Amino acid sequence: MDSETKHLLSLRAIRERAKIVWAAAQAGDLSHFDLHEDRLEDVAKFVLSVIERDFGPDKFDTIPPHGRWQHFEVGGVPRVANLIESWKSQGVSDEVEVTRRLIDLFFVSVLLDAGAGDVWRYVEPGTENKYERSEGIAVASLYMFNEFAFTTGKIPAVNGQGLVNLSADALAAGFQSSGSNEMLGVESRAALLQSLGTSLLDHPKVFGEEGRPGNVVDYMLKHAGASDDLDVLVLWDALQDVLIPSWPKDRTTVNGVPVGDAWPLSTLQKKATTTTAGIQPFHKLTQWLTYSLMVPFQRLLKKRWANSDALTALAEYRNGGLFVDLGAITLKPEALEKGLKASGQELPLFDASDDVIVEWRALTLGLLDAVYEKIVASIEERYKVHLSMAQVLEAGTWKSGREIAAQKRPTTKSSPILMRSDGTLF
């Protein structure tokens, strides 16, 4: 792999390219969107009001980092704590093994966590509680995990062969997907996990001979040695090594090498001087996975993370939709017309790889950085508390994007811009 292609897989490239798009937005030189920078203050105030409502004035330090853990606890049920307690009651007292099991669970749950659609709901067994979207996927994946759906072993875990053996029918059954309760992209999600299983088995240095995601715990602890600090960049490289071969084969390639969630973008291509300079990387699910896996290391093993600021905001439809719904960005007339024609409805529709969506996602990263600065400055001035990007994503922008969508579209709660999903990207 040449250095330019390898750079596309890095966290640094995500932010570097997004800054170019942001500069184009400020200059009015985007292909599909117009930026209304004067509205960013309104967005920041709205997000800040949500954070203050839920955590002010003296609970800001309790905001968890953005991660999968919270989704398992939808409905106020401490499912993760209950799970840990059940393992310990069975004699699993080793915190490292408990962490391995949580990493196993979080790994598959995050990779299943792309848009489920506006119709799908999951009814938790033994209850009448219905959950949708990310939380529904989390709870469904937890039940499948406890039923050994992702392993060939005899403990609740994940291993490579278990994922290879997973069928689309089994995944559909586990997620209660049916004609009247359809979850988007079930076959694509199953194919992703099957491909992941093969890749895990191909990387025994990190994941062991059985291809267990939880073995990354041992890898990270060994790499850190006696230090209490773990390196996000080491974890990132390990995840990219195993995930890049796992993604669908129809994604972007450079000289025959797949580069994952990275896409050609006209805004960048206008100024590109090399083969790869016109490609915008996001690696959204890998970043979401990284954010999520960091938490068990912190909570159970009391480890700290170095280089966590290398992670970026997440370019997905809740964060991006926030800025559309609050008028900070608008589609240019020709792009809007194209999207409305494709949907035949009131909201525009595009393929996930369409240049419109790629530009929206790249623009979202710049918008989130700009709003993050405003929010952090306000909270530091008023409350003498500093919030990380992971905390603002969790308590602020993602939640605000969801809430404004529910206000504007109470029936579907959908994004203001629709995407055709294969269940493996957003």
| Residue 86 and residue 178 in one domain | yes
| Stated length of the chain | 426
| Residue 47 and residue 103 in one domain | no
In a domain, 257, yes or no: no
Contact 334, 295 (CB under 8 A): no
* Res. 118 pLDDT band, cuts 50 70 90: confident
pLDDT, tens digit, 9 for 90 and up, residues 175-203: 999 999 999 889 999 999 999 999 999 99
Integer Cα distance of 384 and 284 in angstroms:
31
* Res. 271 pLDDT band, cuts 50 70 90: confident
In a domain, 259, yes or no: no
| Residue 315 and residue 361 in one domain | yes
For the chain, the domain total comes to: 2
In a domain, 44, yes or no: yes
Integer Cα distance of 426 and 352 in angstroms:
9
| Residue 97 and residue 57 in one domain | no
Q: Would you state the pLDDT for residue 426?
A: 60
Integer Cα distance of 120 and 204 in angstroms:
37
Mean pLDDT value across residues 307-327:
95
Structural domain including 345 reads 1-65+264-281+307-426
| Residue 61 and residue 145 in one domain | no
| Residue 71 and residue 59 in one domain | no
| Residue 53 and residue 202 in one domain | no
Mean pLDDT value across residues 152-179:
96
Boundary-marking domain end, from 225, 244, 272: 225
In a domain, 287, yes or no: no
| Residue 131 and residue 161 in one domain | yes
In a domain, 246, yes or no: no
| Residue 143 and residue 175 in one domain | yes
| Residue 83 and residue 212 in one domain | yes
In a domain, 182, yes or no: yes
Is the whole model's pTM more than 0.95, yes or no? Answer: no
| Residue 94 and residue 15 in one domain | no
| Residue 343 and residue 219 in one domain | no
Higher pLDDT pick, 365 / 272:
365
| Average pLDDT of the chain, as a whole number | 95
